[in-house]
Amino acid sequence: MSWYLIWILSFLVVLFAVSIRSSQTVKTADDYVMGDFKMGFFPICGSIIATVTGSAVLIGGAGQGFELGASYAITVISLTGFTIVTVLVLGPVIRRLRLYTVPELFARRYGKIAALVPALVVALLYMTPTFALQLVGMSSILSSITDIPYFWGIILGFIVIIAFTLIGGLPSVAWTDAVQTVVILAGVVLTLILGIAYVGGPAEVARSTPDELLSFGSIGFTGMLNWFLVFGPFYIVWQTTWQRLSAAKSTRVGMSAVIVGFIISGVIGILAIVIGITAVQQFPAGTNPDSIYTSFITEVFPGSIGGLFMVSLLAALITGGTSFLLSGAINISMDIYRGWINPDAPDQRILRVSRLSVAGMAVLGLLIAVLVEDIIAIYQVALSFTAAALVMPVLAAMFWKRATKTGVLVSTIGALVVTLGWRFAGQPLGIHEIGPGLVVSAVLLGVVSLMTAHSSDEQVVAYYHDLKQERRLRAAAEA
């Protein structure tokens, strides 16, 4: 038996032992999807890192480093920067509202009907395809270290993830993430250091790498803007961040854990890009970019060590897939089932619907994974449509009291139509569809809101300013 199989089997045994142990604490829907709002710094920070540094950041980042070079670092800068600013500015508001999901904010501020489209967008257009992305990444790993065919690698990943998710929920995900984060970081650092030594040292990498791969702005202003917009604004409304903030045992713990988690994830993302640039010395042009990271590990390390690092990445994909399934399941069970179908549903019914939602989303994600192999393409589409539909209404809920339900509905649907149309038109002028989507969303939201009145089921408030006013009044009362 090879070292890779030994590591994989050992990992799966530990993984399911943790799941079974964690399942004993899952009694309610809040336990299953939010850790009963008692999560500490390390499990939240580890969960953020393991979820962020999955297929897109490690496998996709190394592949794009191989093809685009240093320019791709704009994506890491963008997603990290947007997240940190969002947490610092909106973190206390999200905690105060105790939100399960982003669509729940729509329901509170704009009325129940305004949350329906966002719930479907998050669950089906983002969470499900991104779960599929993890399956594709897992299959790439398994096919690089075993004789398992690509298709059966996806099937195996599907079985493992859905079993892990259905058994343990968020508590099992968070604690396994906290442990494997250490291994992921060590694996990336050692892969880079030993990989550079393997291809001849830093001087050889600098000498042999094409100049355009080492230039930060080599893809031009439009290319940089496109990548910046694809990965940045979305993280304002990334539901995983919102849920981890709400699941933390305190505001300070939640905010610090998320910020530190994203900073570490950003470092890992930059290192992955450099690994891709280094791999140019080892692999010929035209090599499948999605195989660069895993192939480089197998080239540089013996199985006894490389197997550990490969398994840590496999673990990140498994728990990342679990996080996406759990997050989407909340949209279905809370925003759609409890919000529309059965408002008086007891907790045990919500828990059951959550688990059924996980299974349904997983099957749909499996179909997507079988049909689509390009990791970055999946991720771009998921991010673009979600950001175009949700970012402007969320910002309006936080900062602009004049926004109306009608304006939000028109903005959300209009942004989706324009984003889809721009993509089908072949991205005119080389501009990614998220740019026009965000612009149209903002214009429609502003114009239609100013032309319409608030509905009776709206909560007419700007939550950020409302919290600041509340703090000022409290400070004045205490003075």
Q: How much of the chain, in percent, has pLDDT values that exceed 70?
A: 89
Residue recorded with tokens 């299974």: 359
Q: Domain 3-387 is of which CATH architecture?
A: Up-down Bundle (1.20)
Q: Give residue-wise pLDDT tens across range 110-119.
A: 998 998 889 8
**How large is the angle between the packed helices 128-145 and 347-371, nearest 10 degrees?**
60
Longest dimension (CA), the chain: 71
For the cut 70, the answer to whether the pLDDT of residue 323 exceeds it is: yes
Residue type for 86, please?
Answer: T
For the cut 50, the answer to whether the pLDDT of residue 333 exceeds it is: yes
Highest mean pLDDT among 120-129, 183-192, 225-234 belongs to 225-234
The three-state DSSP-derived secondary structure of the chain is CCHHHHHHHHHHHHHHHHHHHHHCCCCCHHHHHHHHHCECHHHHHHHHHHHHCCHHHHHHHHHHHHHCHHHHHHHHHHHHHHHHHHHHHHHHHHHHHCCCCHHHHHHHHHCHHHHHHHHHHHHHHHHHHHHHHHHHHHHHHHHHHCCCCHHHHHHHHHHHHHHHHHHHHHHHHHHHHHHHHHHHHHHHHHHHHHHHHHCCCHHHHHHHCCHHHHCCCCCHHHHHHHHHHHHCHHHHCCHHHHHHHHHECCHHHHHHHHHHHHHHHHHHHHHHHHHHHHHHHCCCCCCCHHHHHHHHHHHHCCHHHHHHHHHHHHHHHHHHHHHHHHHHHHHHHHHHHHHHHCCCCCHHHHHHHHHHHHHHHHHHHHHHHHHCCCHHHHHHHHHHHHHHHHHHHHHHHHHCCCCCHHHHHHHHHHHHHHHHHHHHCCCHHHCCCHHHHHHHHHHHHHHHHHHCCCCCCCCCCCHHHHHHHHHHHHHHHHC
Q: Give residue-wise pLDDT tens across range 408-458.
A: 999 999 999 999 999 989 899 899 999 999 999 999 999 999 999 999 989
Strand partners, 39: 248
CA–CA separation, 211 and 216 (whole Å) = 10
pLDDT of residue 34: 47
**Integer Rg of the chain from CA:** 22
pLDDT of residue 179: 65
284-313 average pLDDT score: 80
8-14 average pLDDT score: 77
pLDDT of residue 348: 77
Residue 42, judged by CB atoms within 10 A of its CB (0-12, 13-18, 19+), counts as middle
How does residue 180 score in pLDDT terms, banded at 50, 70 and 90? low
337-351 average pLDDT score: 78
62-74 average pLDDT score: 93
pLDDT of residue 56: 73
pLDDT of residue 176: 63
Two tokens, residue 96: 């105060």
Q: How much of the chain, in percent, has pLDDT values that exceed 90?
A: 32
Highest mean pLDDT among 285-294, 299-308, 457-466 belongs to 457-466
33-51 average pLDDT score: 72
pTM over cut 0.75: yes
**How large is the angle between the packed helices 463-478 and 375-399, nearest 10 degrees?**
50
For the cut 90, the answer to whether the pLDDT of residue 390 exceeds it is: yes
- Distances, alpha carbon 112 to alpha carbons 247, 332, 345, 406, 422, in Å: 23, 14, 17, 12, 29
For residue 296, the Cα-to-chain-centroid distance in whole angstroms is 25
CA–CA separation, 302 and 309 (whole Å) = 11
- Distances, alpha carbon 177 to alpha carbons 23, 37, 465, 467, in Å: 16, 17, 35, 33
464: Cβ contacts below 8 Å, ≥ 6 apart: 89, 90, 93, 398, 399
Mean pLDDT of the chain: 84
For residue 180, the Cα-to-chain-centroid distance in whole angstroms is 17
CA–CA separation, 91 and 258 (whole Å) = 10
Q: Are 390 and 105 in contact (CB under 8 A)?
A: no
- Distances, alpha carbon 290 to alpha carbons 301, 311, 333, 370, 423, in Å: 19, 17, 34, 15, 23
pLDDT of residue 270: 95
Two tokens, residue 427: 């991205």
Q: Which range among 32-41, 90-99, 124-133 shows the weakest confidence by mean pLDDT?
A: 32-41
77-89 average pLDDT score: 95
